[in-house]
Amino acid sequence: MNRFFFEKFYNFIPRKKFWYNFYVLWRAMQKMSLMMKNFILVAALFISFIFLSEGKVSAQNAFDAEGKKTGAWIITGDISKQKGYADAAKVQEGEYKRSRKVGIWIKYWPNGEKKAEIFYNNGRPTGDYKSFYENGQLEESGSMKAGNLVGEFAMYYPDGTPKQKKTFNEVGETEGLVTFWFENGQKELEFQTISGKETGKAEWFYENGDKKKEKTFTGGIASEPILFERKNPPYKDPNPPVVEKGPKAKGDENSAQGGKSGSQIVDGYHKTYDKAGNILMDGEFSGGRLNDGRHYVYDEFGLLDHIEVFKKGVFAGNGVIGSKDKY
């Protein structure tokens, strides 16, 4: 290598430490044999190339010469601006190529638990994916192809109990058996599909496992449902409706009998009346409330509108108005 050429080259480039060391090395090589000089020069250039290349690949959240995202990226709360994430918290991480997601991307919950794991090809979800609840339990799993769900698909409740399972064909239509479950693990619905249309018998169930109804599908068109009575063991509603308690005593006990006002009625059987003499309550009282009996309700004109029946302090329905009640 010509000394004049190298010194001109050295004076042209910025005087960085790397090039200064390289120049010192070259001056030392002048005292070596030609073969040794060439060997050391090639080795130094090769090592420098590897070093610089690795530095470029390992760069994080980088942009290419066209200003497009490239390489490994970690999206944090301060970048995504998603609510609930601290500035330094990971929201998602993966790799970009020309600003398009490629390979496996992982999303996170604000607590740091994995939220989803999705494989991308040229910016589109492709292949297997999984999503997770905030407690780390698997929520959903499936596969994507050309924007469609394909293959086996499953969803789960937060405790890991299956929620639904189905299979999709290559064009994203359900194919074969489709099953849904209640949170208690009992089957809720099951039917078959062909090219996305229900076919054959579909069965619905109660949460205790008893059959609720069934329909027969032909080309996606359903027949009239067949209904079934619930059997034992009896179903216990985990969220029973709020039951209306017996109303508080109203009006006065028959004044002709020297009775007391509603708020003072003691436990036992009583009849109460309003000031116009209309009966208000008739039955057994307990704790100042109608426990077993009838509560008469009048409209704005003072006419009997309906009768509420209570049994053991619980509303049991409306009673029938008889001739003796019309006063």
pLDDT tens digits, residue range 123-167?
899 999 999 999 999 999 999 998 899 999 999 999 999 999 999
Task: Specify the pLDDT at position 307.
Answer: 86
* pLDDT the model gives residue 58: 45
Measure the CA–CA gap between 245 and 266, rounded to whole angstroms. Answer: 18
Number of other CB atoms surrounding residue 309 within 10 Å: 17
pLDDT score at 73: 95
Spatial distance between the Cα atoms of 324 and 319, rounded to a whole number of angstroms: 13
The SS3 assignment for 62 reads: strand
Looking at per-residue pLDDT, the higher value among 282 and 327 belongs to 282
pLDDT of res. 268: 87
Helix, strand, coil distribution of the chain in percent, nearest 5: 20, 45, 35
Q: In whole angstroms, how far apart are CA 13 and each of 16, 18, 44, 46, 55?
A: 8, 11, 18, 19, 20
* pLDDT on residue 108: 96
DSSP E strand stretches across 265-313: 268-273, 279-286, 289-298, 304-311
SS3 5: helix
Judge if the upstream peptide bond of residue 233 is cis by omega within 30 degrees of 0. Answer: yes
Q: pLDDT (tens digit, 9 = 90+) per residue, 237-290? A: 666 655 567 788 877 765 444 455 655 778 888 888 888 788 888 899 888 888
Distance (Å, whole) CA 1 – CA 37: 10
User: pTM, whole model, 2 decimals?
Assistant: 0.53
CB neighbour list of residue 321: distance below 8 Å, 6 or more residues apart? 304, 306, 307
pLDDT of residue 273: 86
Cβ pair 283, 294 in contact under 8 A: yes
Look-up of token digits 């002048």: 30
How many secondary structure helices (H) and strands (E) does the chain include?
A: 4, 21
Distance CA 180, CA 188 (A): 5
Residue 59 has pLDDT above 60, yes or no: yes
Angle subtended at Cα 115 by Cα 114 and Cα 118, rounded to the nearest 5 degrees? 100
Q: Distance between CA atoms of 107 and 103, rounded to whole angstroms?
A: 13
Write out the H or E segment, with its range, that includes residue 103. Answer: strand 100-108
> How many other CB atoms sit within 10 Å of the CB of residue 105?
20
pLDDT of residue 223: 86
pLDDT value of residue 259? 56
The H or E element spanning position 27 is helix 17-29
For 196-255, where are the alpha helices, taking DSSP H only? none
